[in-house]
Structure 1
Amino acid sequence: MRDAYIIGVGQTAVGRHNDLSLRVMAARAVEAAMHDAGAESVEGLYVGNMLSGVLLNQQHLGALIADAAGLRGIDAATAEAACGSGGAAVRWGVMAIASGQHDIVAVCGVEKLTATDPRITTRGLAMAADYDEEASHGVSFVALNAMIMRRYLYEYSLIPEDLAYFPINAHHNGARNPNAMFQKAVDMRTYRRSPVVADPIRVLDASPICDGAAALIICSGDRMAEIKASGRPFARVLASANATDSVAVHSRATPMFLQASYLSSRRAYAQAGLEPQDINFFEAHDAFSVMAALSLEACGFAGPGKAHEMAKEGEITTEGRLPMSTMGGLKARGHPVGATGVYQVVEAYLQLTSRAGPNQVQNAAIGMTQNIGGSGATVATHILQRMN
């Protein structure tokens, strides 16, 4: 297997883009990434998206976005794995390079969630759950995560405020990210005053409905001589791993443990020859506060029921032991579902190439991203290394 390197990234600001179509957002992100990489062309394009068919009546995004970005004729396809679609697309891109199929490819994640009635969007997001076992009984995706959070709090004798340090940290970082949807810090008082969405989940426990597109360029080692000569920054992909669990939460052996996160992270650690303590920062899938905690525990960064202690003690800040959600995460940067996994890798690349601005993690050499589909049914983990 060949080494894969990320050599350029692009992104749109996350938010509500009434004036931009999905194809325009995606094309802009791809074009920005190609410009950043100094690439005039690519051989493949892999697009992460979850809901364009349901919400926008548009499928076939691989060809659509390739055409919009001036790349007509290349290999292109769409990856769908619910909220983990972006991570799946990144994995396709890495595998295309590692296998020798291509020497340079683009990966794009894009989602437009604000163009439809919120009730339709909510119904679409519920498709990440098991329809027969969960959604058909009227359980929305937020309600499903509320049940998970309630059980988690019960299991470990916690209160909602114990998990509030995750969104507080995310908003602190998002306030310093010009591409974040929410660029305002919050505190515990703000958290307590935020409305309850589905008890015990408050507004500040949940990621927002939004639009966005992010892209990156991946190449093989054969291209590295010219990249090094150009002086452009790059990062090596040390690991790309995926794992699955049952889509229905009640079918899992231990609902309070993300088995797919555990398997995906352990496969990634094995590929990279690393252990959890070797990771310098973690871009977690903090779509809900409880998911941030469960991810930290499944990946080996904290013991069962102990993740909140890391957050409360400041260990997940950009100056802490394991900086997390360094550009705001899903909570503050925003969660355009099919694009999220690509945003995570883009942000990890920016950290590793010292381009993260006010949110820069000092001496960041190894970064990990984890993108979750559904409530833990599909999990893609990537580990990146600083190279220059």
Structure 2
Amino acid sequence: MTGVSITGVGMTPFTASADRSVVELTTDAAVAALEDASLEPSEATSLHVGAALPEALETQGGIANAVTASLGLEGVRADRVENTSASGASAVHRAVDAVASDSSQTALVVGVEKMSLGETADVTEAMSRLVHEREYDQGLTLPSFAGLAAGQYLERYDAPREALSAVAVKNHANAASNPVAQLQREITVEGVRDSPLVADPLRLYDCCPMSDGAAALVLSAEPTADSVHIASVGSATGTHAIADRSDPIEIASVRHAGERTFEAAGLEPAAVDVACIHDAFTILELLELEELGFYDRGTAWEATLEGKTQRDGELPVNPGGGLKARGHPLGATGISQLIELTWQLRGDLPDDRRVTDPEIGFAINVAGFGNNSVCTLLEQ
């Protein structure tokens, strides 16, 4: 156990285009988390902000300092963490370390992104630069890698295309009853099949949307009656150039981060009752479930088609809709996963959103296409 607990959570709705600035979104989520923890902003002793693209989208520099001003904080430790699409979970990791080392007694950690401020081409360009320089120069993008991995997976394991569609259909169904999700509508296997081609075999509905939003946690060494405990956090890097990986559908950073996280908590994957998996593309949900040891290699697609990852299945995966449908504002995503797990573990949700009596939750937030991964285990 880390000795650190989540005592408050808060997030804004994830949307295609928010009418609030980056600092306003961040402040809204932070205030909601502090109120949930029954704290005043002045009681926070550190602030950790996860944000990936504010400079690239020319939105806000020095964001941690701007948020301290917005909250009326003075004299606190404050920093900004950037780890591409895993910036949120990395900010949590930073905050856990701060509280566990007693350098902060009450850490406020917030993730944010406002991707609508950039033109689609500009955002795509900024995200394309997350890959290795050599691959960027060749015009390769994250959807390209996802399409290549998806094609390899389907061929190697003789899996039907419908297995990918089933991931999207499940996660959209989960988001349909989630009031903070960006895409609150159900889709069909046929709808996925007929959506525009992005990177064969991936279609538009296999890919997460661009999103605006913010999410926040309050972390403390002093648990409350309804707080959720952070059992462990682990992270790991992988081979940066995907072309240098020995197998295009193995993601070493996911495997190593998962092993470290489970070992630190003294738990096995079988102990997990609910999981939030980084499904920026449908293929990633399958690959990560296998890398993490939830399913043997080449079998996650079968489990998905059999309904085992549904909200009422043996391992509920992405009950809030995942990146695919809840949305993916890069810096906020990893924190929003932990908020979903906290709501599930505390029993805060209505029946049509709730997993049955979960005690242990797991989340993975991935940078790029597995260049870096951060895993977190929560216990009620």
What's the TM-score once normalised by structure 1's chain length?
0.95
- What is the correspondence of 1:1-388 to structure 2 with a 5 Å cutoff? 3-40=3-40, 41-131=43-133, 133-220=134-221, 223-224=222-223, 227-228=224-225, 233-357=226-350, 358-386=352-380
What is the rounded CA distance, in whole Å, between the counterparts of 1:78 and 1:377 in structure 2?
A: 20
Residue by residue over 1:241-298, the C-alpha shift from the partner in whole angstroms, topping out at 9 and shown as x without a partner, is: 0011012211123221111111111111111110010000110000001110110000
Structure 1 gaps, min length 5: none
Q: Secondary structure at the match of 1:339?
A: helix
Paired AA for residue 285 in structure 2: A
Paired AA for residue 25 in structure 2: M
Q: Which deviates more from structure 2 when the two are superposed, residues 190-199 or residues 78-87? A: 190-199
Q: Secondary structure at the match of 1:179?
A: coil
Q: Which deviates more from structure 2 when the two are superposed, residues 151-160 or residues 177-186? A: 151-160
What is the rounded CA distance, in whole Å, between the counterparts of 1:158 and 1:320 in structure 2?
A: 21
Q: CA deviation at 1:123?
A: 0.4
What is the rounded CA distance, in whole Å, between the counterparts of 1:136 and 1:80 in structure 2?
A: 23
Paired AA for residue 322 in structure 1: L
Residue by residue over 1:173-209, the C-alpha shift from the partner in whole angstroms, topping out at 9 and shown as x without a partner, is: 0001000001111121222221112221111100001
Residue pair 1:2, 1:100 contacting (<8 A) in 2 also: no
Q: Secondary structure at the match of 1:359?
A: coil
Residue pair 2:2, 2:231 contacting (<8 A) in 1 also: no
Residue by residue over 1:208-235, the C-alpha shift from the partner in whole angstroms, topping out at 9 and shown as x without a partner, is: 0110100000000xx33xx33xxxx210
Paired AA for residue 154 in structure 1: E
> Following TM superposition, where does structure 1 have runs of at least 4 consecutive aligned residues deviating by more than 6 angstroms?
none
Q: CA deviation at 1:152?
A: 1.9
Paired AA for residue 216 in structure 1: L
Paired AA for residue 373 in structure 2: V
Residue by residue over 1:292-315, the C-alpha shift from the partner in whole angstroms, topping out at 9 and shown as x without a partner, is: 011000000111111111111111
Residue pair 2:249, 2:287 contacting (<8 A) in 1 also: yes
What is the rounded CA distance, in whole Å, between the counterparts of 1:272 and 1:246 in structure 2?
A: 26
- State the number of aligned residues: 377
Q: Which deviates more from structure 2 when the two are superposed, residues 180-189 or residues 206-215? A: 180-189
Aligned-residue identity in percent: 32
Paired AA for residue 130 in structure 1: H
Paired AA for residue 212 in structure 1: G
Residue by residue over 1:301-333, the C-alpha shift from the partner in whole angstroms, topping out at 9 and shown as x without a partner, is: 111111111111111111110000110000010
Residue by residue over 1:50-106, the C-alpha shift from the partner in whole angstroms, topping out at 9 and shown as x without a partner, is: 100100252221111121122233111111111111110010111111111111111
Residue by residue over 1:106-137, the C-alpha shift from the partner in whole angstroms, topping out at 9 and shown as x without a partner, is: 11010011111110000011122112x21121
Q: Secondary structure at the match of 1:114?
A: helix
What is the rounded CA distance, in whole Å, between the counterparts of 2:176 and 2:122 in structure 1?
A: 30
Q: Which deviates more from structure 2 when the two are superposed, residues 246-255 or residues 46-55? A: 246-255
What is the rounded CA distance, in whole Å, between the counterparts of 2:10 and 2:353 in structure 1?
A: 18
Structure 2 gaps, min length 5: none
What is the rounded CA distance, in whole Å, between the counterparts of 1:177 and 1:161 in structure 2?
A: 25
Residue pair 1:15, 1:211 contacting (<8 A) in 2 also: yes
What is the rounded CA distance, in whole Å, between the counterparts of 1:328 and 1:73 in structure 2?
A: 38
Residue pair 1:28, 1:69 contacting (<8 A) in 2 also: no
What's the TM-score once normalised by structure 2's chain length?
0.97
